Copies of this chain bind each other. A is one copy, B any other.
Amino acid sequence: MRITPTTELKNRFRVLQGRMQQLGVEAAILVQNSDLFYFTGSIQQGVYYLPVEGEPVYLVRKDFGRARMESGLKNILPLESLRNLPDQLQSMGLSLPETLGLELDVLPVLHYQRLEKLFSPAVMQDISPAVRSVRAIKSEYEISIMKDCALIMDRIFQHAPSVIAVGKTDIEVAAELECFARKEGHQGLIRFRGFNSEVFFGQVFSGTDSAIPAYLDTPLGGLGPNPAVGQGASYKKIAADEPFIIDLITAFDGYLVDQTRTMAVGKIPERLSDAYFAMLKIQEKLFQIARPGVSWGSVYEQCRQLAVELGYQDHFMGPTGAQVSFIGHGVGIEVDEYPLIARGFNDQLLEENMTFAFEPKAVFPGLGAVGVENTWRVSAEGIKRLTYSDESLLEL
């Protein structure tokens, strides 16, 4: 169990203060779990108040003692009451801001309206793009945790062949892998930033189920156990001669990595194994072109173009009619961070120490899906692997 070092927390708020200066935001209030964890090292509930200059204050409603234990920040105090927040800040010598940055992408309206009233006549501004872009650039400390995640991930995938068997259901396999993952250190909880987005360890599919589209913005969908979940593994039984695809997120000490591997139960159709090797080629393309200064959108376009050239236009990143317009997504504390290797992001550039998952996949309704996914780190010269499990099309 790591406690985030104070130097980390300092570097993080100083970078955000730089963005706030540019935006003309005099103070920011952050309250969402992932942002709290990034800027305080804890998710004990309260308010992280960051003035554009000087030190931040972490005012904690529950549990204060625990926040003191988990956070390396200098100024941690009990939150008297949200109603008195402006008074409490002023009593600490802080002047109230005229422009206040809030996480408008995740903050529910009722919370917002309360803060807006409390800090009136301050102008509220969305600080979430700045927070997300700060969080997109990882420190060596963060990357070292993600490397630990990749170690756990590899153990899970080494274990997988021993639990997959004809006649078992996809959910049985998922349950056994989840249990193994937890014993290896997986924290269980996985965080999404997007509203209504939920994920439970990831996706485990045999054969046809992987081609069923679902509500989430993911290339594979899945029937899931019921319409209330509406995605992921179902009670489908594993048959011989079908692909088995495992797309898992490993979460450890607050950070995530994302990895997909495809296996063959028996002999899968050549069309599917060909598609798998094509997806590896698209990954190879990524490796050739991704480096600092290249736009997210251009990486997407070039890799998608290759998929089209290889003949997978109607299968790439989803079944026809439900194809998603991305191939990769940032990972860190959340599974939908920046950068987005997606259509249209032509002005946003890759930067050193961004980390992202890249997941070329091909979907064949009635047969199943194949693909590969790894989590990558942008380095000075190109990109480096964080996840590293064997990529051969394992025959079970």
A126: nearest residue on chain B (CB-CB)? B110
Neighbouring B residues of A42 by C-beta, 8 Å: 227, 230
Shortest CB–CB separation between residue A60 and chain B, in angstroms?
9
Determine whether the beta carbon of B109 is less than 8 Å from that of A322.
Answer: no
Determine whether the beta carbon of B108 is less than 8 Å from that of A107.
Answer: yes
Roughly how many angstroms separate A104 CA and B108 CA in the complex, as a whole number? 7
Q: Is A310 an interface residue (CB 8 A)?
A: no
Shortest CB–CB separation between residue A169 and chain B, in angstroms?
9
With A1-B226, A227-B254, A229-B187 already in contact, the answer to whether A196 and B37 are too (CB < 8 A) is: no
With A65-B213, A174-B182 already in contact, the answer to whether A227 and B3 are too (CB < 8 A) is: yes
Roughly how many angstroms separate A175 CA and B201 CA in the complex, as a whole number? 13
Shortest CB–CB separation between residue A119 and chain B, in angstroms?
14
Q: Choose one: B2, B31, B171, B229; the contact of A226 (CB below 8 Å).
A: B2
Shortest CB–CB separation between residue A189 and chain B, in angstroms?
5
Determine whether the beta carbon of A253 is less than 8 Å from that of B230.
Answer: no
Shortest CB–CB separation between residue A280 and chain B, in angstroms?
28
A46: nearest residue on chain B (CB-CB)? B215
Q: Which of A140-187 contact B (CB under 8 A)?
A: 171-172, 174-176, 178-179, 182-183, 185, 187
Neighbouring B residues of A188 by C-beta, 8 Å: 200-201, 225, 229, 232
Determine whether the beta carbon of A196 is less than 8 Å from that of B230.
Answer: no
Determine whether the beta carbon of B228 is less than 8 Å from that of A187.
Answer: yes
Q: Choose one: B63, B110, B227, B321; the contact of A43 (CB below 8 Å).
A: B227
Shortest CB–CB separation between residue A65 and chain B, in angstroms?
7
Of listed A107, A172, A215, residue having the most chain B CB within 10 A: A215
Neighbouring B residues of A195 by C-beta, 8 Å: 32, 107-108, 111
Q: Is A88 an interface residue (CB 8 A)?
A: no
Neighbouring B residues of A235 by C-beta, 8 Å: 1
Neighbouring B residues of A70 by C-beta, 8 Å: 227, 230
Roughly how many angstroms separate A137 CA and B320 CA in the complex, as a whole number? 41
Q: Is A208 an interface residue (CB 8 A)?
A: no
Shortest CB–CB separation between residue A171 and chain B, in angstroms?
6
- Interface residues on chain A, number (Cβ under 8 Å): 70
Q: Choose one: B41, B183, B254, B333; the contact of A175 (CB below 8 Å).
A: B183
Q: Is A105 an interface residue (CB 8 A)?
A: yes
A223: nearest residue on chain B (CB-CB)? B1
A193: nearest residue on chain B (CB-CB)? B108
A195: nearest residue on chain B (CB-CB)? B108
Q: Is A106 an interface residue (CB 8 A)?
A: yes
Roughly how many angstroms separate A322 CA and B200 CA in the complex, as a whole number? 30
Q: Choose one: B45, B65, B104, B196; the contact of A196 (CB below 8 Å).
A: B45
Determine whether the beta carbon of A63 is less than 8 Å from that of B185.
Answer: no
Determine whether the beta carbon of B63 is less than 8 Å from that of A221.
Answer: yes
With A178-B178, A183-B175 already in contact, the answer to whether A226 and B253 are too (CB < 8 A) is: yes
Q: Is A198 an interface residue (CB 8 A)?
A: yes
Q: Is A33 an interface residue (CB 8 A)?
A: yes
Q: Which of A55-83 contact B (CB under 8 A)?
A: 62-63, 65-66, 70
Q: Is A396 an interface residue (CB 8 A)?
A: no
A-B contact pairs, 7 of them (CB 8 A): A1-B235, A2-B227, A62-B214, A63-B215, A65-B213, A105-B110, A179-B179
Please list the 6 inter-chain residue pairs (A to B) with the smallest Cβ-Cβ separation, ordered nearest first. A228-B254, A175-B182, A179-B179, A70-B227, A104-B109, A63-B213
Q: A1-B225, A102-B109 are in contact. List 16 more A-B contacts (CB 8 A).
A: A32-B196, A44-B214, A45-B196, A65-B213, A66-B214, A70-B227, A105-B109, A107-B195, A108-B108, A171-B182, A187-B224, A187-B229, A188-B201, A188-B232, A226-B252, A228-B333
